[in-house]
A and B are shown apart, each in its own frame.
Chain A
């Protein structure tokens, strides 16, 4: 029998005494798409980082085409033909497509000092043609859509003659038609005998594109199955190992109409927000739906004072307030959980306890700014227990926590501040199903305690499932508002979300 492309056996990896991987295995055959699934923190990324030489395994062996190999760094992995396409793309925005693909090995002229751009562009053209991509080699990467940039990354990996391609959440930022393009590309790669490791949380995609599925949970290998033989429910059950929380519709219609906690009138911000007015009731979850670029994050940032507004009024508990910066928003009891958790949400290099008290440091000082470390520890332990944050200690740096646990620590920061109004921007992005249901449960319990929530989400089922009211945005304005007790459908919301401009609207009406 032919040797599999990659075989990993008995892989063990510890971080500071914590088991990240326990006796894990993985096999990849040539010409297959092999999904690697599991909750965040299950060990998928760690496993792939061992394969690409980012981490060194503590025990176990890796075989490449039947030969035992020792992958000590990323260069070794690349030489073997193992490439990874990261979620965050690693392209230089100001260079052209060809320059990015050939970076570090540019074709030269006879006098080696001079670059041969013609040759480089020709080679790139060839590569692009092989994959039937309509991209010009001389275009700047910054002019391409995210989807096209991702394809350039894949082309770059293929130009290294890669045999193994690891894709981490490749469809996270893509639209449906772009996903189709990506899948066509994957099919072509399969024909060439490339083995693809496909990491994703989107179950429907796995069914569509993958041949086999390997499930991991809590750093342990669970099983590998033929995709065709297994149902989505079964995979989820294996991943989670527990019940998925699904709030009943009746249960969540308790949103009281008693008291308006936040009212926004005529909010304007040049080029991004136009005449936004809405209100938020006490104890309700207000969902904000819309496509990427509709101005939802911009609205959240404007309310929070992170960006300046050009016009408009904000009332909190019927009091007009002027918010010129986040510190004032926080003073008024508003908390904001950014969509970009890693860069804007938390301090990755600092420990859990510092992150928990970051918004309330003043409350933990005894005169003259002297910090009371004992109280900080007490509070952090309380938050860690309440929100069931998985961490070995409160002194653990946040970068060693999984995405879902980082999110909980950030939420803990705002709970410590006792914010009445919480703005969640894509709270479940990049979070696996199990942690997602935990976050929903948290949102439910928060509103039950009388807090009010604005939740921005790009996932319509999520919005429909959890919000009491929904507003829809398109091109910086509100194009629809629904009470979630009616039988509204995803189609109705999409219609508002794609309601481009007022002129387009009248055209359609005519």
Chain B
């Protein structure tokens, strides 16, 4: 009986989750095959690395967004908060001349504080996530401009900061395998995110809240506090994205960032996470982000104008959610 209880669950479980991942993953592979055939320039080590590098920032933002979206919430502020984190890192390192690691911690903390404030506004003051994070989006945008004096902050005095994104630890270890650190950091962040979501109490409550917030509350779970924790986690990922961004551009650009939140949300949704909460995976989000980059990159190689690339991505989102709905209805 005992063996049956657990055994019965295992094959069914892994098979189903494999199937759920397959759709997004399958489309990614199809896209890669398509572009490889369509253009000989696509499947080159340098181009693949380029795709991964361009995924890193949006990807890390999307990882953070996955957490709040699984609670049934949303965070519209991640784009501009990311910018604010870049600017704060710039202030610590360039303006105040502090060591690089302080700048990194400062950037992460800025993200955490923004997430914390959104979380408090949502769960203590009962402001809907959409509104609370919309407000945070504008606050962060404004603050980034005010603090930087609307001018970019360059990291010319600390060349090591650039290495965070553009250096290649892997390339140093394995000659010829020049994968930039930003990509490495993205994948490590994804693993950390996945472990948080599937193996820890934070993740379990994250799904419970998204599945039925009131029932979770009535089970004695301090839902308010956990939601604050989850928004703060999103903030930390946003901070990380901000550091990667600044390091990649070797400067903090205070006017960038607006609109990134929507691309991050798009990646999460293409990856199969439900906007109504309770369902989603980190692997899905990584694949979702990759699908978007592969599309943009492939279309560019095929000389499709940038404006049209955006149109295509829009249709892909519609298609992804439609296919996902079909699958759910069958299940």
Contacts and interface: CB of A to CB of B under 8 A. Distances in A.
Interface of A: 16, 304, 306, 325-327, 329-331, 336, 338, 343-351, 354, 358-359, 361-362, 365, 368-371, 377, 381, 384-385, 392-396, 413, 417
Contacts of A325: 217, 222, 224
Interface in B182-222: 199-202, 204-205, 207-208, 211-212, 214-222
Top-9 shortest CB links A-B? A330-B220, A395-B9, A393-B8, A369-B201, A369-B200, A327-B222, A393-B9, A358-B219, A347-B211
Contacts of A344: 214-215, 218
B6 A377 contact: yes
A393 B5 contact: yes
Contact of A395 (B12, B205, B220): B12
B2 interface: yes
B103 to A, nearest CB: 27
Interface of B: 1-2, 4-6, 8-10, 12-13, 199-202, 204-205, 207-208, 211-212, 214-222, 224, 278-279
Interface residue SS majority, chain B: helix
A354 B206 CA distance: 12
A348 B212 contact: yes
Contacts of B222: 325, 327
10 contacts: A326-B220, A326-B221, A345-B218, A347-B212, A358-B219, A358-B221, A361-B204, A361-B205, A361-B221, A394-B5
Contacts of A347: 208, 211-212, 215-216
Contacts of A349: 211-212, 278-279
A348 B278 CA distance: 11
Contacts of A361: 201, 204-205, 221
Contacts of A413: 219
Contact of A394 (B6, B202, B218, B219): B6
A394 B214 CA distance: 23
Contacts of B205: 361
Contacts of A326: 217-221
Contacts of B220: 326-327, 329-331, 359, 417
A327 B205 CA distance: 14
B209 to A, nearest CB: 10
A358 B208 contact: yes
B216 A306 contact: no
A371 B199 CA distance: 5
Contacts of A377: 5-6
A384 B214 CA distance: 24
A49 to B, nearest CB: 15
Nearest to B214: A344
A365 B205 CA distance: 13
A368 B200 contact: yes
A128 to B, nearest CB: 36
Given A304-B218, A344-B214, A393-B6, A385 B208 contact: no
A370 B215 contact: no
A343 B219 contact: no
A343 B221 contact: no
A344 B205 CA distance: 16
A345 B215 CA distance: 5
B212 A327 contact: no
Nearest to A338: B218
B201 A392 contact: no
B12 A16 contact: yes
B15 to A, nearest CB: 11
Contact of A370 (B10, B200, B219): B200
Contacts of B212: 343, 346-349
Contacts of A16: 12
A346 B219 CA distance: 8
Contacts of A331: 220
A395 B8 contact: yes
B281 to A, nearest CB: 15
Contact of A385 (B1, B200, B217): B1
B6 A365 contact: no
Contacts of A359: 219-221
Given A326-B221, A331-B220, 4 more contacts: A349-B279, A350-B278, A369-B200, A385-B1
Given A343-B215, A347-B212, A394 B9 contact: yes
Contacts of A327: 220-222
Contacts of B208: 347, 350, 354, 358
B201 A343 contact: no
A338 B214 CA distance: 11
Contacts of B211: 347-350
B172 to A, nearest CB: 31
A377 B1 CA distance: 13
Contacts of B2: 381
Contacts of A395: 8-10, 12-13
B301 to A, nearest CB: 42
Nearest to B223: A327
B218 A381 contact: no
Most B C-beta atoms less than 10 A away, residue of A327, A330, A385: A327
Contacts of A329: 220
Contacts of A346: 212, 215
A504 B218 CA distance: 37
A147 B15 CA distance: 46
Contacts of B216: 347, 358
Nearest to A353: B9
B215 A369 contact: no
A330 B9 contact: no
A417 to B, nearest CB: 7
A406 B16 CA distance: 23
A336 B208 CA distance: 18
A362 B6 CA distance: 22
Nearest to B10: A395
A440 B10 CA distance: 34
Nearest to B13: A395
Contact of A354 (B5, B204, B217, B279): B204
A349 B1 CA distance: 24
Nearest to B201: A369
A371 B204 contact: yes
A350 B207 CA distance: 8
A348 B213 CA distance: 12
Contacts of B215: 338, 343-347
A110 to B, nearest CB: 37
Given A347-B208, A349-B211, A365-B201, A384 B5 contact: yes
Contacts of B214: 343-344
A199 to B, nearest CB: 26
A122 B219 CA distance: 50
Contacts of A369: 200-202
Contacts of A393: 4-6, 8-9, 12
Nearest to A419: B220
B218 A392 contact: no
Most A C-beta atoms less than 10 A away, residue of B12, B211, B215: B215
Contacts of B5: 377, 381, 384, 393-394
A361 B204 CA distance: 9
Nearest to A394: B5
B201 A362 contact: yes
A392 B200 contact: no
Most A C-beta atoms less than 10 A away, residue of B13, B204, B217: B204
